[in-house]
Structure 1
Amino acid sequence: MNHMEKARALRARTDVHFNCCQSVLAAFAEDMGLTEEQAYNLGANFGSGMRCGAVCGALTGALMVLGMTNYPPEQADALRKKFLADHGEINCAALLKKSHEAGIPRKEHCDGLVFEMVEALD
C-alpha cells in the first residue's frame, strides 16, 4: 500500500478517528522508522491545530515527516510557504472558518488537506 492509499484508508475508517496529523504521520511511519502506533501517539495532540485551532495538523504532520526523514529546513520552509500561498492561512481555526463559509463540510475539508500534504511529501 502506498502513502496515499494508507492515508485514504485511515480517513475512511468509521470505527476510530485519526486526526489530520496522525493521518499524515501514519502514512509515512515506515519511512520514519516508526511503527504506526508510534506515529499515532506522536500525532495525538497535534490534531485540530494542536487542540486549540493553531497550525493545521496536516501541515504539522508533514513538517514532522520532513524532519524525521532528514530533509533540509529549506524544504520545510518551502512546504509551509506553499501551503500558506495556496490557502491564505496555516491555522486550523481560520482554515475551518473559510471552508465553512464556502459550504465545504469539515471532514471533506480536512481530508483534502491530509491528502494534499501526503501528495506533497511524495
Structure 2
Amino acid sequence: MTKGEIAKNNFMQGYNCAQAVLLAFCDDLGFDEQTALMLASPFGGGIGRMREVCGTVTGMYMALGLARGYSDSKDNADKKRVYTEVQQLAERFKEDNGSIICRDLLGMRAKAKDNPTPSERTEKYYAVRPCPELCRYAADLLDEYLKNKKG
C-alpha cells in the first residue's frame, strides 16, 4: 500500500486531513501515532477549519520536518534548505491542484465564516470533497520527494 493510499484510508476513517497525511509516515519516521494525531489535530480544515493552508499540505510539512528538519537555531544553511524544500513541495502541489489554500481547493469563493463545527462524515460528504484524494496526493508527493532525497 502506498503512503497516499494509507493517508486516504486514514481520512476515510475520520481523521482530519493533516492527521491523515502525518500518520501515514509515523512508522518510517519513528514517530508515535498518538503524538502525531495530537500534533496534527489543530491543522484540519485549513488550520482549525478556517480554510487557510490545506491540512494535507501542513501534514506533509510536519512529516518533512520529522524526516529532514533542523534543530540548530543558528544553522542558517539548514534553515534555508528546509524552507527551499517546503517551497518546492508547495509549488508542485499548486501546479497539480491549483492552490495550497483549503477554501480554493473546496471551491469556496470567499473566506468561509469561521465555524469550528466539523462536518459530519457521511457518504455525501466524502462524495463531494476532494479531501480524500488530496490526502493521497500529498502523501505520495512527499514519499516520492523523500525517496529522491535518499538516492
> Per the shorter chain, which TM-score range?
0.7 to 0.9
Partner Cα separation in structure 2 for residue 30 and residue 45 of structure 1 = 21
Corresponding residue of 1:9: 9
TM-score by length of 1: 0.81
Number of matched residues? 112
Corresponding residue of 2:147: none
Partner Cα separation in structure 1 for residue 4 and residue 101 of structure 2 = 23
Code of the residue aligned with 2:137 in structure 1: it is: E
TM-score by length of 2: 0.67
Write 1 or 2 for the structure with the bigger share of helix.
1
Partner Cα separation in structure 2 for residue 31 and residue 40 of structure 1 = 16
Corresponding residue of 2:124: none
Q: Does 1:31 align with 2:28?
A: yes
Structure 2: gaps spanning 5 or more residues: 70-80, 109-126, 144-151
Q: Does 1:95 align with 2:118?
A: no
> Relative to 1, partners in 2 of residues 1:4 and 1:84: Cα closer, same or farther, differing over 3 Å?
closer
Code of the residue aligned with 1:59 in structure 2: it is: V
Moved over 6 A (4+): none
Partner Cα separation in structure 1 for residue 92 and residue 58 of structure 2 = 14
Partner Cα separation in structure 1 for residue 57 and residue 142 of structure 2 = 11
Higher relative contact order (CA 8 A, sep 6+): 2
Q: Does 1:120 align with 2:141?
A: yes
Identity of aligned residues (%): 35
Whose radius of gyration is greater, 1 or 2?
2
Partner Cα separation in structure 2 for residue 48 and residue 86 of structure 1 = 20
Corresponding residue of 2:46: 49
